[in-house]
């Protein structure tokens, strides 16, 4: 059997552990030189394939590849670029096959969320129709935790851990200050469509560290009066309150609360920034002094406090993707299968991409407590194992020693150019 080359690309918003998946792909591929020649990475994701801007990962040392496991972000560059439907833009898909053919690529590893699962499936289908032999494997990644079949999505566990840790720490802080000063802390978290990340804030409070939390989920219509009553009750009974708010909460009119709050210096409605709106509302109506924070990229880039479980799963899906390809699988995604809550146990299964593409997993409504402002025991049982364990990066000079790859370009072979 002649070795064929592989293509790997990172897609969509990056995470603290997407490079751990890349590490899993690359280290595993290197174990099978008789089957897999060189792994080419797309510079800036799939755009690199369309423009034939490929990176020769064979030029990276084993040490550099190993360091990807502890380096956040997308080492080859990612992109927000959704391929259109096959019917609308068949040329894009045919261009992919053209580039793959030129570089004898027999394996396509696409590391991303729901959109990239769909693209991966379409590439698989088109290559079959065109008679070009290709095994297309989707490697799951998304902090949104919204891929189906897999129990969780690599990238989410580390965001969840960051948010839970941050809420615990900031709550201890505001508790210290509440008697004479700030008694309200508001943290805005990601999750425009689903409350998975907001729910993770609920883990900050447990039996040994009881904290008065109010969580605002995008699954619930924001009701200012009920919210203010919940906050006031926490402050009156415990002296303070920490509020975790999803960026995606909406009012009864269906509009994002983040948009309703403020206008920027140019008079435009300011996108993002629901935290100051919520804090201002509490101040105006209840008179409490507040502080607010917006975690934004810090939450998904925080490799320094990544979940060991998440890192291990991210590596495992990368490794499994290569193994599945070598076993002849096509149009599948390695999925995390939970076999036990406590002790937490998981294994990797294969999910057919036809069942993954265009299916969005919602957070179960029974994960939200009856009052709408907290998480249930079911939710805790699901979330807690995902933040379990620490996996610190090496430090040098007081800072995490993350790797920046050489990212050497592969000479172009096609005569055509392609604009994206």
Residues acting as catalytic residues: 144
Q: What residues form DSSP beta bridges with 409? A: 55
Q: Which of 30, 35, 291, 338 binds a copy of itself (CB under 8 A)?
A: 291
Q: Which of residues 77-136 bind a copy of itself (CB under 8 A)?
A: 77-81
Nearer to a copy of itself, 263 or 327 (CB): 263
Q: Is 74 in the site for a copy of itself (CB under 8 A)?
A: yes
Q: In degrees to the nearest 10, what's the CA dihedral of 283, 287, 293, 294?
A: -20
For helices 156-177 and 308-326, the axis angle rounded to 10 degrees is 170
Site for a copy of itself in 270-289 (CB under 8 A): 270, 272-273, 275-277, 280-281, 284
> Minimum distance between the CB of residue 15 and a copy of itself, rounded to whole angstroms?
9
Q: Which residues in the 53-72 window bind a copy of itself by CB under 8 A?
A: 71-72
Known binding-site residues equal: 13, 142-144, 190-192, 247, 297-300
The answer to whether the bond into 343 is cis (omega within 30° of 0) is yes
Nearer to a copy of itself, 66 or 177 (CB): 177
Q: Would you count residue 378 as binding a copy of itself (CB under 8 A)? A: no
# chain residues binding a copy of itself, by CB under 8 A: 90
Minimum CB separation of residue 169 from a copy of itself in Å reads: 4
Which residue in the set 364, 395, 408, 414 belongs to the binding site for a copy of itself (CB under 8 A)? 395
Cα–Cα distance between 93 and 125 in angstroms, integer? 10
With beta carbons less than 8 A apart as the criterion, state whether 98 and 327 touch: no
Note whether 331 and 121 are within 8 A (CB). Answer: yes
Site for a copy of itself in 4-33 (CB under 8 A): 10, 13-14, 16
In the region spanning residues 306 to 335, those forming contacts with a copy of itself, defined by CB under 8 A, are 307, 309
Site for a copy of itself in 334-353 (CB under 8 A): none
Residue of the chain from 56, 115, 296, 355 that contacts a copy of itself (CB under 8 A): 296
CB of residue 393 to a copy of itself, shortest distance in Å: 10
Q: Say if CB 144 and CB 153 are below 8 A apart.
A: yes
The answer to whether 293 contacts a copy of itself (rule: CB under 8 A) is: yes
| Cβ 181 to a copy of itself shortest distance, Å | 4
Contacts of 249 by beta carbon, 8 Å cutoff, 6+ apart: 216, 217, 218, 220, 222, 256, 257, 258, 274
Tell which one of 128, 388, 412, 418 touches a copy of itself (CB under 8 A): 388
129: tokens are 């129709």
Instruction: Count Cα neighbours of 192 within 13 Å in the Cβ-side half-sphere.
Output: 9
Question: How far is 382 from 339, CA to CA, in rounded Å?
Answer: 12
Residues in contact with 163: Cβ distance below 8 Å, sequence separation at least 6, in sequence order: 187, 189, 197, 198, 200, 201, 244, 295, 299
Complex with a copy of itself: residue 179 or 370, whichever CB lies closer: 179
Query: Would you count residue 249 as binding a copy of itself (CB under 8 A)?
Result: no
> How crowded is residue 126: how many other Cβ atoms within 10 Å of its Cβ?
19
Min separation Cβ 240 and a copy of itself, Å: 11
Identify which range of 20-28, 60-68, 83-91, 262-270 contacts a copy of itself by CB under 8 A: 262-270
251 near a copy of itself (CB under 8 A): no
DSSP sequence for 27-96? HHHTT-TTTEEEEEEETTTHHHHHTT-EEEGGGS-HHHHHHGGG--S-TT---------TTT-HHHHHHH
Query: Which residues inside 190-229 make contact with a copy of itself, applying CB under 8 A?
Result: 203-204, 206, 208-209
Q: Which residues are annotated as a binding site for diphosphate?
A: 13
Pick from 5, 38, 57, 73 the residue near a copy of itself by CB under 8 A. Answer: 73
Minimum Å gap between C-beta 195 and a copy of itself is 19
d(CA 33, CA 22) in angstroms, rounded, equals 17
Q: Can residue 401 be called a binding residue for a copy of itself (CB under 8 A)?
A: yes
Q: Which among 21, 309, 315, 306 has a CA at the least distance from the CA of 163?
A: 306
Q: Which of residues 125-164 bind a copy of itself (CB under 8 A)?
A: 161, 164
Q: How far is the CB of 113 from a copy of itself (least distance, A)?
A: 14
Helix axes 274-286, 224-238, angle to 10 degrees: 70
């Amino acid at each position: 059997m002649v070795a064929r080359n592989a293509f790997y690309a990172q897609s969509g918003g990056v995470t603290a552990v997407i490079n751990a998946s890349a590490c899993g792909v690359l280290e595993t591929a290197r174990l099978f030189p008789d089957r897999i020649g060189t792994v080419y990475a797309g510079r800036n994701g799939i755009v690199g394939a369309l423009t034939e801007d490929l990176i020769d990962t064979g030029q990276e040392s084993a040490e550099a590849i190993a360091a990807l496991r502890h380096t956040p972000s997308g080492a080859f560059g990612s992109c927000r670029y959704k391929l259109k439907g096959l019917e609308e833009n068949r040329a894009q898909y045919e261009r992919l096959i053209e580039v793959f053919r030129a570089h004898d690529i027999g394996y396509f590893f696409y590391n991303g969320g729901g959109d990239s699962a769909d693209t991966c499936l379409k590439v698989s289908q088109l290559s079959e129709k065109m008679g070009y032999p290709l095994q297309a494997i989707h490697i799951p990644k998304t902090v949104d935790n919204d891929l189906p079949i897999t129990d969780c999505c690599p990238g989410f566990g580390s965001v969840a851990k960051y948010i839970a840790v941050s809420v615990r720490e900031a709550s201890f802080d505001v508790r210290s200050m509440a008697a004479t000063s700030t008694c309200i802390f508001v943290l805005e978290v990601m999750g425009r469509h689903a409350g998975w990340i907001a729910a993770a804030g609920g883990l900050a409070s447990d039996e040994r560290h009881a904290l008065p939390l109010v969580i605002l989920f995008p699954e619930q219509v924001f009701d200012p009066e009920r919210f203010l009553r919940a906050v006031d009750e926490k402050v009156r009974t415990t002296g303070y309150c920490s509020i975790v708010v999803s960026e995606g909460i909406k009012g009864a009119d269906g509009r994002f609360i983040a948009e309703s709050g403020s206008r920027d210096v140019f008079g435009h409605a300011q996108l993002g920034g629901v935290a100051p709106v919520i804090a201002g509302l509490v101040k105006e109506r209840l008179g409490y002094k507040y502080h607010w924070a917006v975690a934004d990229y810090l939450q998904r880039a925080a490799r320094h406090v990544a979940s060991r479980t998440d890192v291990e799963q991210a590596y495992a899906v990368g490794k499994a993707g290569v193994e599945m390809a070598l076993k002849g699988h096509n149009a599948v995604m390695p999925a995390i299968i939970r076999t036990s809550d406590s002790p937490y146990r998981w294994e990797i299964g294969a999910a057919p991409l036809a069942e993954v593409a265009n299916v969005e997993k919602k957070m179960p409504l029974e994960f939200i407590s009856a009052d709408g402002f907290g998480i249930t025991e079911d939710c805790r049982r699901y979330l807690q194992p995902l933040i379990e364990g620490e996996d610190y990066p090496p430090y040098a000079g007081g800072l995490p020693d993350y790797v920046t790859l050489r990212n050497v370009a592969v000479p172009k072979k096609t005569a055509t150019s392609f604009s994206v």
